[in-house]
């Protein structure tokens, strides 16, 4: 990059992500955030008006999705470089995004370690794809810039993503509405039960009560699943109190408790290769109580569970029910502990 300021627009419909991205960029002396947009049409309009050097563009945007927005941006601001930032891990989607002329594709779950290297690569005219997608995005040239490279200049010094080694079975969802929260929990648990796997729900009493009729409407005989031991629902507040002492997680108690739950559920699962789906909001309760470090410690322990057992974990943060905003640094640290990030 040359010595002049790089003018950037950040486009995402999730305000905490825009704050995280803008704050990350503004810490770099060469990067200047000149605008933000929350939907695809607004992104096209701002690109035409401001003619930025770089557009950080989400895919799942309202009004006009990011891929279609990128095609229009190419027409109204042809010199602007585009870097996609999305939680969508589909290789087909990534390839379609890059086919619009986008310079790179970063998974939000990897952004803590990859965002700045991706920006540097795209501004230098290189192609950047998140490390966990590189093997699957077929049209990426072998000369692409990936997280294996080491950068030493004013922008970033980087060796590898923070969450290296995390499996692909630990996702997080940030929800601004309880309906979205319950929709995703229902689909996650319901799909597992329909496949013959087992499910464990660690949720508040109100959410557990709301989930049961939703699971029935999903076409499940939830009473039978409970009798079989394939569906276990426990209180999130009681669960976290059992392994939290002085705002710190007792690792041994946590691992013992969840190992027992997983083993019990797994014994009741059906099929040749049964799995256990775990939906939990205990991490949300810890964050809501001001115990962000403990929440992140639990997320790290969940990664250990995915390495030991055949489990899929979805952690839910119901932000719409809390008056305070999630700190940007906390949001970044939570995302870095997951293989997939979604927001609704």
Q: Are residues 177 and 251 in the same domain?
A: yes
Residue 29 reports pLDDT greater than 80: yes
Alpha helices in 195-327 (DSSP H): 205-217, 222-228, 236-241, 251-268, 282-288, 292-308
Domain boundary among 158, 185, 202: 158
Residue 151 reports pLDDT greater than 80: no
Q: Are residues 183 and 251 in the same domain?
A: yes
Q: Are residues 175 and 122 in the same domain?
A: no
Q: Which pLDDT value is given to residue 88? A: 86
241: in domain: yes
Q: Which pLDDT value is given to residue 134? A: 53
* Residues 6 or more apart in contact with residue 30 via CB below 8 angstroms: 1, 3, 4, 5, 6, 154, 155
164: in domain: no
Q: Are residues 151 and 219 in the same domain?
A: no
Q: Are residues 107 and 199 in the same domain?
A: no
Give the separation between CA 92 and CA 84, rounded to whole angstroms: 14
53: in domain: yes
Q: Are residues 136 and 249 in the same domain?
A: no
Closest by alpha carbon to 15, among 320, 340, 294?
320
1: in domain: no
163: in domain: no
Give the separation between CA 76 and CA 51, rounded to whole angstroms: 8
DSSP sequence for 138-207: TT--TT-B-TTS-EESSS-EESS-TTTT--S-EEEEEESSHHHHHHHHHHHHHHHHHTT-EEEEEE-HHH
CATH of the domain at 268: 3.40.50.300
Q: Which pLDDT value is given to residue 6? A: 94
Task: Give the rounded percent of residues in the chain with a pLDDT score beyond 90.
Answer: 59
Q: Are residues 99 and 219 in the same domain?
A: no
165: in domain: no
Band (229; pLDDT cuts 50, 70, 90): very high
Q: Are residues 192 and 333 in the same domain?
A: yes
Q: Are residues 232 and 339 in the same domain?
A: yes
Q: Are residues 205 and 263 in the same domain?
A: yes
Task: Provide the domain limits for residue 254.
Answer: 170-343
Q: Which pLDDT value is given to residue 315? A: 94
Strand spans (E) along 48-141: 54-57, 81-86, 104-107, 128-129
User: How many separate domains does the chain show?
Assistant: 2
Model confidence pLDDT, tens digit, residues 70-127? 999 999 999 999 999 998 888 888 889 999 999 999 988 878 878 988 898 899 888 8
- pTM for the model: 0.60
Q: What angle do CA 181, 184, 189 make, to 5 degrees?
A: 120
104: in domain: yes
Residue 293 reports pLDDT greater than 60: yes
Model confidence pLDDT, tens digit, residues 204-226? 999 999 999 999 999 999 999 99
Q: Are residues 117 and 238 in the same domain?
A: no
Q: What angle do CA 260, 263, 269 make, to 5 degrees?
A: 145
Q: Are residues 221 and 318 in the same domain?
A: yes
Domain boundary among 104, 129, 158: 158
Domain boundary among 158, 188, 217: 158
């Amino acid at each position: 990059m040359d010595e002049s300021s790089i003018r950037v627009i950040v486009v995402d419909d999730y305000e905490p992500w825009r704050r995280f991205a803008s704050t990350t960029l503004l810490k770099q002396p060469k990067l200047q955030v000149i605008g933000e947009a929350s939907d695809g049409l607004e992104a096209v309009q701002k690109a035409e008006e401001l003619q930025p050097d770089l557009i950080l563009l989400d895919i799942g945007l309202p009004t006009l999705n990011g891929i279609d927005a990128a095609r229009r941006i190419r027409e109204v601001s042809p010199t602007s470089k585009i870097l996609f930032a999305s939680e969508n891990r589909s290789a087909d989607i990534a390839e379609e995004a890059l086919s619009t002329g986008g310079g790179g594709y970063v998974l939000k779950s990897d952004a803590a370690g990859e965002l700045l290297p991706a920006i540097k690569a795209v501004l230098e005219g290189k192609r950047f794809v998140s490390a966990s997608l590189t093997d699957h995005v077929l049209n990426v040239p072998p000369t692409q810039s990936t997280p294996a490279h080491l950068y030493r200049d004013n922008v970033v010094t980087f060796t590898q993503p923070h969450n290296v080694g995390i499996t692909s079975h630990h996702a997080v969802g940030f929800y601004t509405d309880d309906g979205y929260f319950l929709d995703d929990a229902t689909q996650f648990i319901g799909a597992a039960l329909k496949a013959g796997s087992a499910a464990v729900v660690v949720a508040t009493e109100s959410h557990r009560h709301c989930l049961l009729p939703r699971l029935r409407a999903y076409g499940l005989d939830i009473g039978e699943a409970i009798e079989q031991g394939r569906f276990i629902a426990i209180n999130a507040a009681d669960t976290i109190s059992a392994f939290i002492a002085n705002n710190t997680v007792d690792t041994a108690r946590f691992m013992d408790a969840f190992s027992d739950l997983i083993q019990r559920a797994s014994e009741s699962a059906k099929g040749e290769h049964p799995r256990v789906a775990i939906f939990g909001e205990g991490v949300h309760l810890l964050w809501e109580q001001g115990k962000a470090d403990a929440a992140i410690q639990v997320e790290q322990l969940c990664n250990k569970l995915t390495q030991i057992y055949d489990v899929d974990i979805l952690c839910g943060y119901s932000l719409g029910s809390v008056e305070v905003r999630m700190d940007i640094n906390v949001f970044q640290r939570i995302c870095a502990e997951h293989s997939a990030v979604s927001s609704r």
